[in-house]
Amino acid sequence: MTRVAAIDCGTNSIRLLIADLDGQGGLTDVLRTLEVVRLGQGVDRTGRFADDALARTLDATRRYAELCREHGVERARFVATSATRDAANRDEFTDAVQQILGVPAEVIPGTEEAELSFRGALTAVAGAGADAAARHLVIDLGGGSTELVLGRQGPEAAISMDIGCVRMTERHLGAGVDGDVARDDAAFAALRADVNAALDAASATVDVSLATDVVGVAGTVTSITAHALRLDAYRPELINGSRLPLGVVLAACDSLARMPRAERAALPFMHPGRVDVIVAGAVIWSTVLQRIAEATAAAGHPLEFVTTSEHDILDGVALSLG
């Protein structure tokens, strides 16, 4: 057994997984934690990291470094995704991370992000009853980007699209953390148009009509699933591997998109750092699922269920340390 640490630094959150990795590629969690730091604050507009966003993220990285020391981590990997790819001053961030952790801060391309998410996500659908012939479409809906990756046991096609819950909130809904978003029809229409344009471009690389199974990952998707399940708290053990009818998921998206901020904030499973971006996330998720439903229906095998995985790029990064 080797004790490893994976850190995933996205646009909205930074997450840490410390796990024991066995010789057969199995992971046993030791610690899994998340902080919402909003590293991507304003990056879509300015192309740069804000000073306060950098400070929040580096403070969290220092706390994660201490946890790695406390738990005797032998190998570690830090990956940064959409916001860091877009930021002109990313070297300031990556240099500081290396000083804190002693390992490089890897700014990975969207295709690698997709492949790592695929590897982690499939743990939610693996098992004795798994269909080896199923063609999974794993969708990682993040803060700055959304990845599509299609494959059976491994990725066959993957793409990263610059649509994410933070990016789309800032671009179309115009809310600060303490304000409510613009939930009018014109704002929603503009947001959906961006998503559909990204999906149109992605279709040349990933043919979603081939999917026989859809697996959604990351905080937006898991929060929508918690809403669909009407959970009284955030319960990953109930969310992970849940397989819900498409109509139930779309209804949960519409409910969250139309819900006033105070009601969203009062939901017992809602992380405070997601309250202001879950509206855009719900609109993105419903738009993506509707497009997949149309494509698979036209191909003769309509999408009926949507699976949610609590395992994603973080698990993929940890597994890559084997």
Do domains 2-108 and 127-314 share one topology? The answer is yes
Using CA atoms of 122, 10, 185, 221 in order, give the dihedral in degrees to the nearest 10: 30
* CA–CA separation, 44 and 266 (whole Å): 29
78-122 confidence digits (pLDDT tens): 999 878 988 999 999 999 999 999 999 999 887 888 888 888 888
* CA–CA separation, 289 and 278 (whole Å): 16
Q: Where are the domains of the chain?
A: 2-108, 127-314
pLDDT at position 120, please? 83
Q: What CATH code is assigned to 2-108? A: 3.30.420.40
This prediction's pTM: 0.86
DSSP assignment letter at 172: I
68-83 confidence digits (pLDDT tens): 999 999 999 999 987 8
- In CATH, the architecture of 127-314 is 2-Layer Sandwich (3.30)
Please check whether residue 150 is in contact with residue 136, taking contact to mean a CB–CB distance below 8 angstroms.
yes
**Given a cut of 90, is residue 133 above it in pLDDT?**
no
20-49 confidence digits (pLDDT tens): 988 777 888 999 999 989 898 888 889 999
Q: What is the mean pLDDT of residues 221-236?
A: 97
